[in-house]
Amino acid sequence: MPYKKDALSYHSGGRKGKIEVVPTKPVDTQHDLSLAYTPGVAEPCREIAKNDDAVYEYTIKGNLVGVVSNGTAVLGLGNIGPHAAKPVMEGKGILFKKLADIDVFDIELNAPTADEVIRTVQALEPTFGGINLEDIKAPDCFRIEDELKRTLKIPVFHDDQHGTAIICGAAFLNAIELTKRDIAHVKVVFSGGGAAAMACANIFISIGVRPEHITMCDTKGVIYRGRTEGMNEYKERFAIETSKRQLSEALDGADAFIGVSVAGALSGAMISKMAAQPIIFAMANPDPEILPEEALAHRSDAIVATGRSDYCNQVNNVLGFPGIFRGALDVRATQINEQMKLAAMYSLARLAKEPVPQSVCDAYNGERFEFGPRYLIPKPVDPRVVLWVAPAVAQAAIISGVARKPISDIEGYRSELAERLGDQTPTAKLTARTTSLSAPTGASQVLR
């Protein structure tokens, strides 16, 4: 592996790992100590005892996210356990802090069952302002998220599902626009029948793709009505009436391929049968279902995206979770609901159509970016991403009634956020339309 030596040195050099806890108040003098600990610490304790919400005023809770995993589905590595999952969770922590100034405790659980994860996270609720579930196998991840959303009063977000869906949805909307398709007639084939595939399918349906036009394939082939092998209640929701049984058959005449499966799942022969200007999102990591150069060799008219940073159109969750949690935390949302997810998706789709700052071009060796087949979504290093996503999410939380601390001036909030994050983008460029909750051009359905 070309990056093995560098990656291991990066993680082991100097202070081990990627994150640390640092003090935010002075503890240099006797007086400081008397305030930080005894007797002064008793005063905020008394205030919180009188009013639970005061915990947000006197502690880190309102800016603290728990990144939780049991290591049962880590990246493309599978069930490698909680210890081996820790580098990934630390990685999420460093991105939360760097991109959105959100503090993180990474929580790796020796809890292989859904019930154990649920009970543990429920017990941890007083510590955190939000929970990011990560790398938990399906179908356990569905039950865990559903139960935690039902029982906790803080946002719970399974990033493998919804983060992937939000970024994929933004790229998909823009690909639909570029190819001048009517989304109600688009036929989509999924390779993969797990958490990410189902979340992407759900968000596609929300923006206008017809359920009967979605064909989902797993390791056993097409998920069709009447199939018994390898089925569960979640897959049943995507079972369709069809005589097609394999991915290659399903792709005949299809407009889009969405890959959230394994390397090599898609061949040039398969995509040669797809409709004109096929949309091919091969998002398996680290190696996609088909490499872009192979896809384009067989279909030069294709629009191709992957999950990798060394190709154009990187569908990467880092475009979503920092801004989504920033907006949710800042309005003290009780959940991250569908309206908030769609608002994040639409904001990313719009941002891709804006002029790209020089700093972003410099990060990619001076390459120029303009909305089109090779630039469907913003780059992960774009400093504007959080400034567009967080206000859109915050506004959606307010409108949908889940914000416990509404913000009256969204544009003022955006400016404050830019100052907090040290962004150099003139706020004048961040126009008010970025917080609109209506669908961008090319989408057939607006957020209601």
Of 188, 227, 221, residue with least CA distance to 204 = 188
Query: Catalytic annotation on 92?
Result: yes
Beta strand ranges found along 159-219 (DSSP E): 188-191, 214-218
**Could you report how far apart the first and last alpha carbons of the chain are, in Å?**
47
Query: Catalytic annotation on 234?
Result: no
Residue 43 C-alpha from the chain's centroid: 39
Beta strand ranges found along 141-293 (DSSP E): 156-158, 188-191, 214-218, 221-222, 256-259, 279-282
> Phi/psi of residue 200, each to 5°?
-65, -45
Question: Looking at the chain, how many residues does it have?
Answer: 448
Write a three-state SS string for 29-69: CHHHHHHHCCCCCHHHHHHHHHCHHHHHHHCCHHHEEEEEE
The residue from 37, 58, 98, 153 that is catalytic is: 37
357 secondary structure, DSSP code: P
CB atoms within 10 A of CB 83: 10
Q: What is the layout of strands, in order, in the sheet containing 188-191?
A: 221-222, 214-218, 188-191, 256-259, 279-282, 303-306
Answer whether 96's CB lies under 8 Å from 325's CB. yes
Distance CA 28, CA 37 (A): 12
The residue from 18, 61, 86, 92 that is catalytic is: 92
> Phi/psi of residue 111, each to 5°?
-145, 85
Distance CA 23, CA 48 (A): 21
> Phi/psi of residue 399, each to 5°?
-65, -35
How is 390-401 classified by DSSP, letter by letter? Answer: HHHHHHHHHHTT
Cross-strand partners of 372:
375
Catalytic residues: 37, 92
